[in-house]
Amino acid sequence: MFQPVNWFIGLRYSQSRSRTGFVSFITFFSIAGILLGVASLITVVSVMNGFENELKTRVLGLVPHITVETQLNDESLRQDLLALPEVARVTPLEETEALVQSATGMSGILIQGINPSLEQDSIIASHMIAGSLADLAPSKYQLVIGQALARQLNVTIGDKMRLILPSRTMFTPMGRVPMQRNFTIAGVFNLGSQVDDTVVYLHHSDARKIMRKRSGDEQLLRVYLHDAFDVSLVTPKLLAKWPNLELATWQQSQGTLFSAVKMEKNMMWLMLGLIVAVAAFNIVSALVMVVNDKQGEISILQTMGMDKSGIIQIFITQGMVNGAWGVVLGTALGLLLTVVLNPMLAVFGINIFGAGYVSQTLPIVLAWQDVGIIVIGAFIMSFIATLYPAYRASQTLPAEVLRNE
């Protein structure tokens, strides 16, 4: 097959076995460094993507993406919100802090009044381990609680618990006392997060009753988007159409958490990217030694008519071949590790999360755009690393080198 002479010579140099042991040693470790750096970056970024996705599912699956304050039974507004392409669900909500008391203990919680018929696609409905959200019926005064809270208070389905609202009071012959009422446990969920022991769900109408809200009082609508990160795009649309709406987004309550996760992910990119960069720039030392070793051959090529750009192309080709070996093998190893990481941990009995965690497998999301960025970035760093040695080779003076040959 025809090959340009510059590429052909560069490929021959990269496959040469006549190099000194130290040059071969440096070349090997530059390839190995790129390989390990690329593999580590692909694996770690996939795990970080998995944790970010897990947070997005577990935290933003519960927290309303947008909360809208409106009038009770304003069905027209709800339908208008549902008509937006970014909106997945719109459900009514009542929310307040409370105390829940059983025969053996008491705990502070957040109660949420929901409409069970509109919550069948929620993350809570899919993580019920006993009972169902559909069991919540108006005027039945029933609760759905987390498994952690049920264990803490030593209760189960069918048991009664007293719900106390310190912020709502009523007058009795004994004076002003907090609103309280007995509720029956209708279901238990398990998300494996802090929500399990801090949030209690009851029917929307029961929540309004215990909160002593009248029919004309304002209520909240919680808006769930198909992608929670579209909130910055949707909010301006809502305010443009309904300027008087009072809106709150998940970024106000959970934005700090996701900003911290994003910063951690960026720092991981930076640290592992520097490993790849250091390994790639080992190509510089290896190529400089090759250039010094090939001074005579470079001079002969120049006397035969090869110009400086041809000499540069030879050594760029040689450096890029070494870099390509590291990138290709590192990508293959990284993809393999990403696929078999959880089975490997299971085989060796390694428990990363410790006892008591619901899932013992690492959440992994392999994003091909990230793999592409890593591969392209490694190739670019390998290319940059070849420029100085190639330029130095092109500055060889044939007369000086061949005078003593």
Residues 47 and 115 reside in one and the same domain: no
Dist CA 107 CA 169 (whole Å): 19
pLDDT of residue 332: 93
Residues 154 and 271 reside in one and the same domain: no
Does the residue 90 lie in any domain? yes
Strand 128-131 and strand 218-225: pairing?
A: unpaired
Domain boundary among 164, 190, 217: 217
Q: Domain range for residue 197?
A: 72-217
Dist CA 389 CA 400 (whole Å): 19
What is the per-residue DSSP string for 40-75? HHHHHHHHHHHHHHHHHHHTTTTS-SEEEEEETT-H
Does the residue 333 lie in any domain? yes
Domain boundary among 167, 195, 217: 217
pLDDT of residue 352: 65
Residues 212 and 296 reside in one and the same domain: no
Q: What is the pLDDT of residues 107-131, one digit of tens each?
A: 888 888 888 888 877 888 888 888 8
Residues in CB range of 201: below 8 A, 6 or more apart = 111, 112, 113, 114, 124, 133, 136, 143, 144, 145
Does the residue 225 lie in any domain? no
Residues 148 and 37 reside in one and the same domain: no
Residues 101 and 202 reside in one and the same domain: yes
Which DSSP state fits 178? E
Q: Token pair of 114, please?
A: 């929901």
Nearest alpha-carbon partner for 31 in 317, 327, 341: 327
Does the residue 65 lie in any domain? no
pLDDT of residue 2: 37
Residues 207 and 87 reside in one and the same domain: yes
Residues 358 and 274 reside in one and the same domain: yes
Dist CA 231 CA 243 (whole Å): 17
List the chain residues with pLDDT less than 70. Answer: 1-3, 5-8, 10-23, 71-74, 169-176, 215-218, 351-360, 399-405
pLDDT of residue 331: 92
Number of folded domains that form the chain: 2
Residues 264 and 158 reside in one and the same domain: no
Does the residue 231 lie in any domain? no
What phi and psi, each to the nearest 5 degrees, are found at residue 140? -95, -15
Does the residue 63 lie in any domain? no
Does the residue 149 lie in any domain? yes
Nearest alpha-carbon partner for 337 in 362, 306, 317: 362
Give me the residues paired with residue 199 across strands: 110
Residues 54 and 76 reside in one and the same domain: no
Residues 107 and 209 reside in one and the same domain: yes
Does the residue 314 lie in any domain? yes
Residues in CB range of 8: below 8 A, 6 or more apart = none
Residues 387 and 315 reside in one and the same domain: yes
pLDDT of residue 356: 47
pLDDT of residue 355: 47
Residues 323 and 399 reside in one and the same domain: yes
Domain boundary among 167, 193, 217: 217
